[in-house]
Every structure is written in C-alpha cells, then in structure tokens.
Structure 1
Amino acid sequence: MKAKAISYALLSAALFGVSTPAAKLLLADIDQRILAGLLYCGAGVGVALLRRLPLRLGLAIRAEEAKLGGTDWVWTGAATLAGGVAAPLLLMFGLARAEAATASLLLTLEGVFTAAIAWFVFREPFDRRIALGMALIVAGSLCLAWSGAPSLSGALGPVAIAAACLAWAVDNNLTRRVSLSDPLQIVEIKGMVAGAVNLGLGLFAGAFMPSIPLVGAASVVGFLGYGVSLALFVLALRHLGTARTGAYFSTAPFLGAAVSVAALGEPLTMELAAGAALMGAGVWLHLTECHEHEHLHHAVEHSHSHVHDEHHRHGDHSDHENGQPHVHWHAHEPLLHAHPHMPDMHHRHDH
C-alpha cells in the first residue's frame, strides 16, 4: 500500500504542478481573484459530477466510501475556512504588497509549516532520515523559486504570504483527520465553498467574468489541478500521514517548472537542475524509509472503506471474505504486533 499511496501523492503533485503554468496562461485574460474562484468552482463542480459516476477515479477511489458524519463536519469546515477562504485572501493581499521573488520564496513555507504542525502538534512520528528528506525537498523548492535577491521592505506583504502558507498547512493537517471519509465528498465541499467565496469577492471588488471559453478552460484546469489533485492528496494522507504526504506534494514546483520548460519554451536553468537534484535526493530518502517496531493498537470504533486484513478481523462478515472493499461501523480490539508501517490512520501511536 505504501507504493500506491506514494504514487497518489506524486500524481497529486504532478496535476497541481501542471496547473500552475496553465493558470499562468489564463491570467493574461482573467482577473486573479476571478481565476481563483473559477479554479475552485471547477474542482467542486467537476468532482461533484465525478462522485455520482460509477467509475469515479477508476480503482483509486472506491465506489463505496464512508460519508462525512459527526465531528467530521467540524474538521472539514475548519479545513475549508483555513485553506479555501483564509489562505487565498491572505495570499492575494500579500501578493499586492510583496515583490515576486519574495513571494515565490515564501510560498515554500507551506511544506515546512505542514510538517512542523504534523510533527509537533499532532505528534506524527519522524526520524532524522525523514527530516533530512523534507529539508532537501524544501531546499529544492527554494532553488526553483529563487529569481533574484528578495526584499523585505514593507513587512506586511511577506507576513500575509507566510500566514497564507500557515493556513494551508493547518488545512492539510485538519483534512488528515477526515481522510478515512470519501475524498470526493471532501473535495466537493471545499471546492464549492472556496469557489463561491473567491468569485464573490472578485465580483464585489469590481472584476468581470471572462468569456465562456475562458470559463470552461479555467474550470477544466481547476477540476484536474485542484479537484482530482486534492482527492488523490486525501488518499495519500490516509496512508502516509500529513508530513510525508506534504513532502511528496512539495515536488509540485519542480513538476510545474519542468512542464514550463517543455511546453512553454522557458529556459532550462541551473536553478531547475539544482532543484531537481535536491528534490530527487529528498524523495529517495522518503521512498527508502523502513519504519518497523513492536507497537500497540488501542481499541477504537469507526467506519471507513476497508478489506479484511490483519488490522480488520472483526465480526462475521463472510459475504466480504472475497477481499472486496466495504463500509460499515466496526470495532478494533487491542492488538500488539510488529511490521513495517507508516503513520497512517491506524498507526498513530507514540514513539
């Protein structure tokens, strides 16, 4: 499952990374606030339609997933407010008051904040290998973002951009709390709310809606680069934990830069080569991690899509013994054992 979850995280990063040069082209004809709203709306509406198709995302997201319920709505609402409403507002405010080089460098803080919150607030385990890998990936992002000496003249803009990164990091960690629920439902809610808020703010500020072809193009970019990408990100959170998923997702700037070189004819620079080398080393450290020790699973009751494996040996459900995923409320009895594992939703023990 680790390899599949890593592929989800990297594919999520690839889709988001490719959406960046695509959005850059659209910015020539669409106000940035309206574009943000269209991207989120494209994600929300597109995923809402996808949710109601039998194939959904092929084999990645199963047709039978647990729906949000109870306290899940609190976590999802808080994550949406942080990442879909507060972060874009702070970013737009900061971009208007900071130089491009400063803004690009500061945006790499999202990965740092995501890992720091996961490690020191939610007590997600890590070791020197994982910390070094994260540091190399962030260093690679800094190389890609570097476009000259940044200036901190006027601290208000940079502080707002850093606050936006912090809001997205909070969003990532809160979303992890509901990652056992239907990823498409989570994305649908986030996209609809964030899209409506950003569009409303843009129109209130006097911006105009673009032509229908441009609306369609922005919606497609939003569906793939924000909607499908976020759904895969939630799947990765489910199996890898927040910090590790955030580390893989931090490769998005490199993937976006690579597409810009190949598709937009931008120059292949030393910064891109150095960033690729650093990120490759960081990802390799994460890929080759093997975390194994004796650990205790405490008793817990919850509902999510699962198969009957070593962690799910509950009750008599002979109709599901063929290995097909299914959803129902089930209890986990205390279990003490040892095997290689990641800090997923079933391995949140202290170290």
Structure 2
Amino acid sequence: MTHAPSHLSTHLRLVGMAVLWGASWPWGRVLAQAMPPLAAAACRFLIAGAILMLWLASTGRLSALRSWSASRWAGMVVAASFGVFGYATFFMSGLKHVPAGKGALVITLNPVITLLLAAWIFHERLNKRIGLGMALAAVGAAVVITRGEPWHVLDGRVGIGELLLLGCVACWVAYTLIGRKVMAGVDALTTTAVTAAIGAAMLLALTLAVDGTTALAGVLAAPRNAWLCMAGITVGSTALAYAWYFDGVKALGAGAASGYITLVPVFGVVFSALWLGEVVDASLLVGGTMAIAGTALMNLGRR
C-alpha cells in the first residue's frame, strides 16, 4: 500500500516565508524613509542576488546555467521583470507614502487574483466557498485601501501610495504564474538566484538613469537601523523567503502556495505596530479582518 508523500517541511517553510515577508513591511518602511526608494530596492537585490549566487555555486548547480536555452533565459528575464524589478519598485515607492501595516493588508488581493488566473490558465478548481472567500477578501482589501470608504474605488479617490501597492499585487501575481511555467525542470534555488540577479541589474540601471550616483551615496549614508533592516530584508525576506516560496509553488501548486500569503498581513500588522508604533484604526481592523478571513475561506474551499 502506498502513501501520499508528506509535504510537512514544505508547509513549515511557507509559514517561515510568511513570517519573513510580514517583517519585510516594517523593514521596507524604514528603508523607504531613510534611503532613496529605487536605490534601496537595487541595493536589496544586489546583496540578495550575490548571496543566492554564492549559495547556488556551493551546491554545484551554477555550471548548469551554461546549458540553458535562449527561451529559458528569456523566461527568467520576464519573471525577473515582474517579480523583482516591478515588485521591488512598487514596494519601495509605495512604502514611501503608506504605513507598513496597511501595505501588508493590501496584498491580501494576491491570492484572489492568483486563484482566478490559475483557474483560467492551469484549470485549478473553484467552488462556492472559494468564490465567497474571494469576494470577502476583495471587499476587505478595498476597505483598507480606501480608509473605510470602499465606494470611493469607483470614483478613483485612491491615494498614490495605494495605487503603487496595487502595482505590487499585479507584479506578484504575474511572477507566481510565470514562475510556475519557467520552473519546469529548474529547482527553486536556481530560479530565485537567477531572477534576483537579473532583477538587481535592472533596478541598478533604473536607479542610475533616474536618480544618478547621488542616490547610491544616500544609501551608504543611511543610519545604522536602516542597514539592520536592509540585512533582514535581504537575507531573510529575499534570499530565504523567495526560495521557500518557489519550493512551495513547485510542490503544492500556485494557488496553494499563494494561500500562505494569508498569514503575511497578520505578521505585517503585528510587527508594524510593535516595531514602528503604527496605529491600527477601525478601517484597518475591520477591512483587515475581512480580507484575512476571506483568504482563509478560500484555502478551506481549496481543500
């Protein structure tokens, strides 16, 4: 008699990913206030990319990149454009304007859109419970984004910071779904290392084109607490968490892995309140509860 393989270690890594990504919001908020946002994003992925490439080399898998086809490299460039370059740009720019806890709750839209597109593209199943959860999560996110007045979504009265964070959502959904395709035959660490390195080069080029070398000087002049946050966001939230996330996508599927993003806003709000003293107002509490409950209901529906 055969038994289904246990994915316990994969689930534990996805929980660890949620903790680290939750912490990335207050860390990112500190960086966005202390450094030029684009330069901070470039620095984040330059450091993380170097760590991941060294890690890849230590496993003996770096030499395998030489045998990659042009189409595989093209897929990695597209994935890096969304998941690293696009996401990091919107992330750091959005946190310049929006509190970290609020930003963490906006990303509850990620699993909603990911599941919808995964059902369309990969034929992952949907049911009434998933549909109800999607609706609840979407309304909750709208309450958070509009400060308790979701009807203003229709008349366009949404701040620049919130719009930038919606760019994060779009980029991450694309990254998740593209990653599922380009990862065929490629392990999670290799995918993460290559996309981080490519994305870092893109971010550095954009920083130099938009802000020049003065932005990099601003990064170097940042205070000690900003560099401690940089260490946390590069080693933990980028190098480790990205690898764990892609491992989850490969083992469980795009919809199931993205379901763990439900936990990210919980950790994000808690860490932002504890570390940065951010106030959790009524719209954040009510909308956040709805969004998190909706994504939890989606996960129950998937089971």
Instruction: Please tell me the TM-score bracket, short chain as reference.
Output: 0.7 to 0.9
Aligned residue for 2:33, secondary structure, equals coil
Report the equivalent of 1:262: 274
- The residue that corresponds to 2:186 in the other structure is 181
Extract unaligned runs of 5+ from structure 1: 55-62, 291-351
DSSP 3-state at the match of 1:79? helix
SS in 1 for 2:29: helix
Instruction: Read off the aligned partner of 2:11 and give its amino acid letter.
Output: I
8 A contact 1:34–1:199 mirrored in 2:
yes
In structure 1, what is the equivalent of residue 3 of structure 2? none
Cα distance in 2, alignment partners of residues 156 and 144 from structure 1: 14
1:208 aligns to what SS in structure 2? helix
Question: For 1:286-328, what per-residue CA distance to the aligned partner results, in whole angstroms no more than 9, with x for missing partners?
Answer: 25854xxxxxxxxxxxxxxxxxxxxxxxxxxxxxxxxxxxxxx
How far off its partner does 1:138 sit?
A: 4.6
In structure 2, do the counterparts of structure 1 residues 231 and 118 end up closer, same or farther at CA, with 3 Å as the change threshold? same
Tell me how far apart the structure 2 counterparts of residues 14 and 107 of structure 1 sit (CA, whole Å): 14
Counterpart in the other structure of 2:12 = 7
CA contact (8 A) 1:134 1:282 kept: yes
1:103-114 map, 5 Å: 108-114=108-114
Distance (whole Å) between structure 2 residues aligned to residue 132 and residue 288 of structure 1: 9
Structure 2 counterpart of 1:208, one-letter code: L
Shift, 1:257, TM fit: 0.6
1:211 maps to 2:224: no
* Residue of 150, 170, 174 corresponding to 1:166: 170
Q: Which shows bigger deviation, 125-134 or 31-40? A: 125-134
- The total of aligned residue pairs comes to 279
Q: Deviations over 1:100-157 (max 9, x none)?
A: 59x9587554433322221112322333333444444455545555535457259999
- SS of the aligned residue for 1:28 comes to helix
- Say yes or no: does 1:118 pair with 2:118: yes
Q: How does 1:91-240 map to 2 (within 5 A)?
A: 100=98, 108-142=108-142, 144-145=144-145, 147=147, 149=149, 152=156, 162=166, 165-177=169-181, 178=183, 181-204=186-209, 205-206=211-212, 207-209=215-217, 210-211=219-220, 214=226, 217-240=229-252
AA aligned opposite 1:11 = G
Letter in structure 2 aligned against 1:118: A
2:292 is matched with 279
The aligned residue for residue 36 of structure 2 is: 31
Q: What's the Cα RMSD here? A: 3.9
Matched-pair identity in %: 21
Relative to structure 1, the CA distance from residue 30 to residue 208 in structure 2 (aligned partners, 3 Å threshold; closer, same or farther) is same
Tell me if the contact between 1:33 and 1:202 (Cα under 8 Å) persists in the aligned partners: yes
Amino acid corresponding to residue 26 of structure 1 in structure 2: L
C-alpha change, 1:27 and 1:208, in structure 2 (3 Å) is: same
8 Å contact 1:179–1:235 — kept in the other structure? no
Larger relative contact order (Cα-Cα within 8 Å, sequence gap ≥ 6): 2
Q: Check conservation: 1:180, 1:238, Cα contact below 8 A.
A: no
Deviation string for 1:2-53 (max 9, x for gaps)?
4443333332222111011012112222011111112222321222233345
TM-score by length of 2: 0.73
Distance 1:106 1:268, change over 3 A: closer
Which runs of 5 or more structure 2 residues have no equivalent in the other structure?
1-5
Pairwise CA distance, 1:241: 1.3
Q: What amino acid is aligned across from residue 169 of structure 1 in structure 2?
A: V
Give the Å deviation of 1:232. 0.8
Secondary structure of the residue that 1:126 maps to in structure 2? coil
**Partner in structure 1 of residue 24 of structure 2:** 19
> 1:214-235 CA deviation, whole Å, 9 max, x = no partner?
5575244222112211111101
Normalised TM-score (structure 1): 0.64
Structure with bigger helix share is: 2
Tell me which residue corresponds to 2:48: 43
Matched residue type, 1:176: R
8 A Cα contact 2:42 2:204, kept in partner: yes
Q: Distance in 2 between matches of 1:240 and 1:74?
A: 25
Distance 1:2 1:134 in 2: 25
Cα distance change, pair 130–197 in 1 and its aligned pair in 2 (3 A): same
Letter of the 1:39 counterpart: R
Q: Going by fraction, where is strand more abundant, 1 or 2?
A: 1
